[in-house]
Amino acid sequence: MDPWVQSAAQEIGRRAVRELEALVGVSSPSGDVQGADECAAVCAALLPDEAAIERIPCSSAGHAPDLLATLDGSGAKRLLLLGHMDTVVAHDRHRPLQREGGKLVGSGAIDMKGGDVLAIGVMRALARRPEAYGTAALLLVRDEEWRTGDLAHVERFAGFDACLCFEGGEQTAGGEDAVIVRRKAAGTVRVTARGRAAHSGSAPDRGRNALLALAAAAQAVAACHDPAGPDRLTSVPTILNSGEAFNVVPGGGELFCDCRADELDAIERVLAAIPPEVGGAELHPELIRRWPGMHSEHAVAPVLDRAAAALGRPLRTASRGGASDASHFASAIPVTIDGLGPRGGRAHNPEEFVHEDSLAPRAEVALAVVSALL
């Protein structure tokens, strides 16, 4: 293994558990300004003194500013490290970090505060090698989990030599380290129903039942589900809201569905499968969240060959269905690599965890990729 990779990873590994404990200890659901600001303060304390720290406007209105830390070097290459610190866990369900056997269990541990800790560690290692790069930037956003619009920062970093995203890491069935080079496109479908309310006992047939119309829309969306098909489309109804009283025909409501596919075009076709009306109730579908797919396997192949040499062991590629901000940057930075965080599981669940013994080895992976790029 490259000596710099080995020594820097050991240092990251020694500090990672305590740093993860500090970061997970802050409850930071998407949209919560106080939690985001507390996370920013923790990260600022962990970043190297040489880093210039800015708070820049978030892509989503009402959120705390994002955090951008920048190291200026004397070399030529420009690297962007990427992460997010918002979680899907509400304050009343927040779980501080606890050790359970070999697992570090806590809210946002794998998605993605464990990756943030490794990215900050890489920034500290780079601060001691300013001759190796021109710019090393770490962007930590506050709205990855619930953003519906575009990521505002893509143009700012267009033309950088590489984007490295620290979402949770992968391992092959044979136990070899892997990184993510391919992700599905993602879309959120919202269907609004407009029916007619009526008394469900004395005049039910005068109503136009929005709930039944939305149920039909949910079935139409579910019928598009075809993960083994050419588009690898997953189409899943997730939230249904309709009705205000138990004795009233629902006059309105809305349905949300989560769709993933290789390309956004396949998700657009799900909208066409939803009928315009059911039982006299109108249905109005729209795609309110669009995340592009990521296909960087060809652009990053030479980098990963060099990274495996620096690592001293194989480094494989993998794909993932979950969305990531890396997908937004991949269109502007062809060498985009994701999945550089630690290994773990149960993301978005109370039992979310990081494998403690993966922290140092995954730091080695990240540092080997950085070494290959520089």
Q: What is the mean pLDDT of residues 301-328?
A: 94
Query: Among 61, 69, 27, which Cα is nearest to 45's?
Result: 69
Instruction: State residue 323's pLDDT score.
Output: 81
8 A C-beta contact, residue 43 and residue 67: yes
Q: Which of 84, 209, 223, 55 is nearest to 151 (CA)?
A: 84
Residue 276 has pLDDT above 90, yes or no: yes
| pLDDT, tens only, 127-140 | 999 999 999 999 99
What percent of the chain is predicted at pLDDT more than 90?
95
Predicted confidence band at 307 (pLDDT cuts at 50, 70, 90)? very high
Average pLDDT, the chain: 96
Region 185-291: CATH code = 3.30.70.360
Closest residue by Cα to residue 218 from 283, 133, 159: 283
As a whole number, mean pLDDT of residues 295-301 equals 95
Per domain, the residue ranges of the chain are: 3-183+293-373, 185-291
Asked if residue 107 has pLDDT above 90, the reply is yes
Could you write out the DSSP letters of every residue in 213-236? HHHHHHHHHHHT-BTTSTT-BEEE
Confidence of residue 149 (pLDDT cuts 50, 70, 90): confident
Query: Contact 184/321 with Cβ under 8 angstroms?
Result: yes
d(CA 365, CA 372): 11
Cis check: omega of the bond before 112, within 30 degrees of 0: yes
Burial category of 9 from C-beta neighbours within 10 Å (exposed 0-12, middle 13-18, buried 19 and up): buried
CA distance 13 to 30: 28
Share of the chain above pLDDT 70, in %: 100
Give the pLDDT band (50/70/90) at residue 322: confident
Band (305; pLDDT cuts 50, 70, 90): very high
Q: Is the pTM of this model over 0.85?
A: yes
Note the pLDDT of residue 238.
97
Residue 148: pLDDT band (50, 70, 90) is confident
Q: Which CATH number fits domain 3-183+293-373: 3.40.630.10, 3.30.70.20, 3.30.450.40, 3.40.1280.10?
A: 3.40.630.10
The span from the CA of 14 to the CA of 330, in Å, is: 32
pLDDT of residue 19: 98
Average pLDDT in the 353-361 region? 98
SS3 sequence of 290-336: EECCEECHHHHHHHHHHHHHHHCCCEEEEEECCCCCHHHHHCCCCCE
